[in-house]
Amino acid sequence: MLNQSQINKNFNAIRFISYCLFTGPELSSEVPGGESYLGNEDQETDILARIDILKNAVDTARAQLPANDVDSGVINVFLSPEFYFHGTRGAYLYSSIEEDPLPYLLQQVRESFSAPAYANWVFVFGTAVTAHVANVDRLFSSESVRARNAIVKTLLEQKEQTYGPTEQLVSTTLSNFLTDCHASPDVTVRDRAVIFSQITLDTPTHTLATNVMTTEKYFLSGEDFILCEPSGRADVITEQMVSYAHIDLSNGDSKRTAFDNYAIFRQNGVNSSTGFVDYGIEICLDHDDARLRSNLREDGIGSVHVQLVPSYGSAIIQSNVVASANGFVFNCDGQMVLDSTSGVQQYGDPRSEFLYINYGTDKYGSHSQLARVNTPAVGDNPKLKSASFSNLPTNDVAIFSVPKPILKAGTFEDYFVGGTGAIHVYGLRDAYSLVSCVEK
């Protein structure tokens, strides 16, 4: 257990920090639809390198914060994109429950970010993709996997060679085939957000006094895994092989234990006047699917103070926001830019105002977004009574380039393509008030 005496319990403000970088596969210029996962073949080495890259980014951000920030009463929320941890097969594979790499990953995160300098941080280090496969060789050599991969490869080749109505027919055939594959998967994959904070983590109904948690995604996107490995490598997870496990949300989405599938957690006693902060995490398409909004009750149960969306190809959907009045929704995406702009941008349509920053290009892009709720949503229907947003100024938002880290195994380019990323800080000098959105 961490030394709680290191932690200032008088938090009255919050700052949002994203590490924007492309977290997807490298695109092939030779093979239609070809993509390659990057990383180290040894899973533990891969995890350690990715943590070192995170540490470099976090310390880049920390160096830009005001002096004595750790004692300032500000909570720093750090968010990185979905699929940050994945390995060269697209998922960290393990043959027995005892070999699940996630406990190792969480322990390494704890060791890397338990210093007093990080005492006022809440980290959501994107997601880690894992799969329990009892016999890896048998899985990838199975008739089902080989047939699915061959069919998709053929359809991608034909899509490249055709045009007009024929191309549309091939595209529709490919889409329908993938949908059928998802309904009858060869392997169930887990996509879990990695949460760590020295400010203890609880649930809305249970005191856990833990420092690590996970939550899990259920909605599979057509972009979550590659379709075709250009080198012909057969032992990689492809889109046509997988599904995510169903999550029973019939009794709400509040966490009961640290490592269950649910999304809403709490930090108790953050301030003598504000009491607690509730967070909700929706991973990418779970946000698009209104995961939290569909469990928002008329009396406000199911709302949170801070809604976090780590994603790969998504953005804030206003009708799906469940943050309370003066609360926040924060998105960090590892796949796309929102438009062609650079620098800090303010989207200013009435009732839909938010800040955003792009990083990278259309090919290898990323972005972050922050919105603050004015009037909160009411009820579980995204078509009715959605949240409105307040105006947020751009003058205290900053962008910092991230230097290339020196790694013990390989180079940065062995793990990520598209550049070393950027730090986006919302509320650099004047963090946002917590008091106005948090009840005791």
User: Tell me, what's the pLDDT at 439?
Assistant: 58
Kindly report the pTM of this predicted structure.
Answer: 0.96
Write the single-letter amino acid at 328. F
Instruction: Flag whether pLDDT at 369 surpasses 70.
Output: yes
- Strand pairing class (422-426; 397-401): antiparallel
pLDDT at 356 over 50: yes
Q: What is the pLDDT of residue 438?
A: 72
User: What's the rounded mean pLDDT across residues 262-280?
Assistant: 86
Q: What are phi and psi of 77, to 5 degrees?
A: -95, 115
Q: What is the pLDDT of residues 18-57, one digit of tens each?
A: 999 999 999 999 999 999 999 999 999 999 999 999 999 9
Average pLDDT for 414-435: 96
pLDDT digits (tens, 9 = 90+) for 312-321: 999 999 999 9
Q: What is the pLDDT of residue 348?
A: 77
Rounded distance between C-alpha atoms, residue 252 and residue 266, angstroms: 15
Matching residue, tokens 């190809």 = 313
Q: Residues 417, 361: contact at Cβ < 8 Å? A: no
Paired tokens of 350: 């009435």
Please determine, for residue 9, whether its predicted confidence score (pLDDT) is greater than 80: no
Question: For the residues 303-328, what does the mean pLDDT come to?
Answer: 97
Q: Crossing angle of helices 102-112/43-62, nearest 10°?
A: 30
pLDDT tens per residue, range 379-392: 999 999 999 999 99
At 272, the pLDDT band (50, 70, 90 cuts) reads low
* Other Cβ atoms within 10 Å of 117 Cβ, number: 14
